[in-house]
Chains A and B, each alone.
Chain A
Amino acid sequence: EPEVTQTPSHQVTQMGQEVILRCVPISNHLYFYWYRQILGQKVEFLVSFYNNEISEKSEIFDDQFSVERPDGSNFTLKIRSTKLEDSAMYFCASSPRTSTDTQYFGPGTRLTVL
């Protein structure tokens, strides 16, 4: 069964460094998402992406964040200058045809900012 994959599974970085989290959505899916989950808290929406542009973003997704689909398979989340409070699990998700189709989540990347 097709699944969303994410790399790396765990990323440790120093505060102020740039990180890129990578995702390979399910092929033929058209909508892509990033969510994050701070330890012990609920999953929070960051951004949705369709047709090579951001469709919607939350207040968390400030100028330090960016997303990109550099080729036909990868979908990346970049944090330019990480802060301690960026430490969280970051989940990528994709959905097939419309924004109200089921979203399938990847296993997540645990980001630790020291």
Chain B
Amino acid sequence: GESVGLHLPTLSVQEGDNSIINCAYSNSASDYFIWYKQESGKGPQFIIDIRSNMDKRQGQRVTVLLNKTVKHLSLQIAATQPGDSAVYFCAETFPGGTSYGKLTFGQGTILTVHP
């Protein structure tokens, strides 16, 4: 079946620490993965994405790692700031068949950054 899930529902860190948010997916046909950040009362905001032909991608203070062997995705946030406090969702999609960009979201991890 298709499912995306998260190992940890909450993560609490100190400002300046590095944060790691994890995600497991079950559909080996998925080829595109995205991390979204959702602040209270707002829509999901794109952070970073990765395609299945890569295992690592870096952005500004964020890195996404993809381990296709164990179907695991992680988001690393360097030097976490209070403004990073939000719910983080991973999402997956896969091409072909009847899929036209449908994103399947995980449950979300609440990241709280303490000053």
Decide if A and B are genuine partners. Answer: yes
Contact call B105/A33, Cβ cutoff below 8 A: no
Count contacts on B: residues with CB < 8 A to the other chain: 26
Contact call A100/B32, Cβ cutoff below 8 A: yes
Q: 1/0 per position for A86-114, CB-CB distance to B under 8 A? A: 00000100010011111111111000000
The interface residues of chain A lying within 8 Å CB-to-CB of B100 are 31, 48, 50, 55-56, 99
The interface residues of chain B lying within 8 Å CB-to-CB of A4 are 43
Contact call B98/A103, Cβ cutoff below 8 A: no
Contact call A42/B107, Cβ cutoff below 8 A: yes
The interface residues of chain B lying within 8 Å CB-to-CB of A45 are 102-104
The interface residues of chain B lying within 8 Å CB-to-CB of A43 are 44, 89, 91, 103, 105
- Does any Cβ of B come within 8 Å of A68's Cβ? no
Which residues 4-56 of B have a CB within 8 angstroms of A? Answer: 31-32, 34, 36, 41-46, 49
Chain A residues engaging chain B, CB cutoff 8 angstroms: 4, 31, 33, 35, 41-45, 48, 50, 55-56, 58, 91, 95, 98-108
The 3 lowest CB-CB distance pairs between A and B, nearest first, are: A99-B101, A55-B100, A105-B43
Chain B residues engaging chain A, CB cutoff 8 angstroms: 31-32, 34, 36, 41-46, 49, 89, 91, 93, 95, 98-108
For the A-B complex with A102-B34, A103-B103 known, give 17 more contacts whose Cβ atoms are closer than 8 Å.
A33-B103, A42-B89, A42-B108, A43-B44, A43-B91, A45-B102, A45-B103, A48-B101, A55-B100, A55-B101, A56-B98, A56-B100, A58-B102, A95-B101, A100-B95, A102-B49, A103-B101
